[in-house]
Structure 1
């Protein structure tokens, strides 16, 4: 007797249809005038605007100022990510259900709040308390990223194989020692991969946070654009691109090293 086929799941087709309806409804409600992008007037205005960025400013004092701002942006992203890793790991322990269902639900709500508020909004709020400069930007990156990494770390801990830690606990090992020797080594490569990926995102976010006064390249860019100093702004944009490319290359190399 041939076995009956498994029941067919309609959840995936229904989800795809709903997404298609959402996309069509978005185009219908936004009333996008795509043809305006391809008119001769639009092309001429765009070329004239881009022409104002050439040639980039290459004076030695300005390049040194841009380098210092780039290092400030890099420091913001690195320190913000480090603080987020520490906070995310601390919050991931109760969020993974290790301290009971009530603690899991409460901490998951906190993580949802942290990551639902964008970095720019965090920076605008923290500028009131911390003042202008990179300190507020670093805290904004840390707050948002802690919510993201805390959720990812918690999911990794929940999906870890519980048998090794249970075996250590049965043989008399303390709970904290069993966690560090059995569960954490299982999830550490995944956590490091998540951390490096978020660092890539934070270097881009740090470059933008300066627009609201959080220091770094973003603050330089806002300043020169507000004065219509397009050539200086072009140099800042190029520095942003080079910094992002450098961090992407470093992160990619580290992730490759972790997966070997």
Structure 2
């Protein structure tokens, strides 16, 4: 008789009590959230609410297409793009500088201090930064650009620090063991390893900053958001509809460009 070979059946993973407790806590939190919030879904789908919403949306059509107004939209669109691009560029540069000590390269004390600074920067929303900076810098895109940069430094600095920590230290250690300057060793070994990830993070944050720049105009930081607030406050719905369409087109184009750039970097 031929020997019967033992078959290796996959072992069914067992759930630990910590995992079960965590899942149960999440379920209880979701149930408690729905129970504590005064959700009035019946009022949302009420016939009167639907009728008034339709009447309100009808005021947005047709969008304003006068050449002079479209020229203003084009200038505001460029202003919004410039705010997001400059704010992201400043944040990426300073994020690398702060991300290095935040990754623990200069000791645990520097790591804790810089991560605390990054936590503060990204915990404060862009609208709050813009409101504070408008007092110092005045109305306009300059305050909006600084607000985007400060918040994005906190986000990119943390992401860059994680990227530096996850990079293999062996190439840099090899160069330094052979007498290479520490700065040169970092630039020629660690930075090339992390650069695709750093660029991907930066492009993703640029996409987010374009949306944020469009909203910052609500507090007077310039761009399309300021135009949108102005026309909505005067109930000029057709002009507001044109601004909203410009926002949608701008975000769609930037999302497509960013996606193509990320695809090129990963090839």
TM over 0.5: yes
Distance 2:84 2:58 in 1: 32
Task: Give the C-alpha shift of residue 21 in structure 1.
Answer: 1.5
**TM-score, scaled relative to structure 1:** 0.96
The separation in 2 between residues aligned to 1:8 and 1:228, in whole angstroms, is: 57
Query: Quick one: distance in 2 between partners of 1:192 and 1:11?
Result: 37
Deviations 1:57-88 (A, max 9, x none): 00000000001000000000000000000111
* Aligned equivalent of 2:37, options 18, 30, 34: 30
Deviation at 1:20, TM superposition (A): 1.8
2:141 aligned with 1:134, yes or no? Answer: yes
Change (3 A) 1:133 1:23: same
The residue aligned with 1:179 is: 186
| Structure 2 residue runs without a partner (length 5+) | 1-7
Aligned-pair CA distance for 1:12: 3.2
The CA deviation at 1:5 is 9.3
- Residues in 1 aligned to 2:162 and 2:180: alpha-carbon distance in whole angstroms: 24
Describe the shift of the 1:217–1:5 C-alpha distance in structure 2 as closer, same or farther (beyond 3 A): closer
- Look up the SS of the partner of 1:74 in the other structure: helix
From 85, 110, 123, the counterpart of 2:92: 85
Three-state SS of the structure 1 residue aligned to 2:188 is helix
Mapping 1:93-108, distance limit 5 Å? 93-108=100-115
Task: Give the corresponding residue for 1:207.
Answer: 214
One of 221, 231, 253 as aligned partner of 2:238: 231
Provide the residue aligned with 1:56 in structure 2: 63
Cα 1:12/1:199, change in 2 over 3 Å: farther
CA distance in 2, matches of 1:149, 1:43: 42
Are positions 1:197 and 2:204 aligned together? Answer: yes
**Normalising by the residue count of structure 2, what TM-score does the alignment of the two structures yield?**
0.94
Deviation at 1:115, TM superposition (A): 0.3
CA distance in 2, matches of 1:25, 1:210: 36
Over residues 14-38 of structure 1, what are the superposed CA-to-partner deviations in whole Å (9 max), with x where a residue is unaligned? 3222222221111111111111111
User: 3-state SS of the aligned residue for 2:105?
Assistant: coil
The aligned counterpart of 1:71 is 78
More divergent stretch after superposition (4-13 vs 231-240): 4-13
Aligned-partner Cα distance in 1 for 2:131–2:101: 29
Q: Which runs of 5+ in 1 are unaligned?
A: none
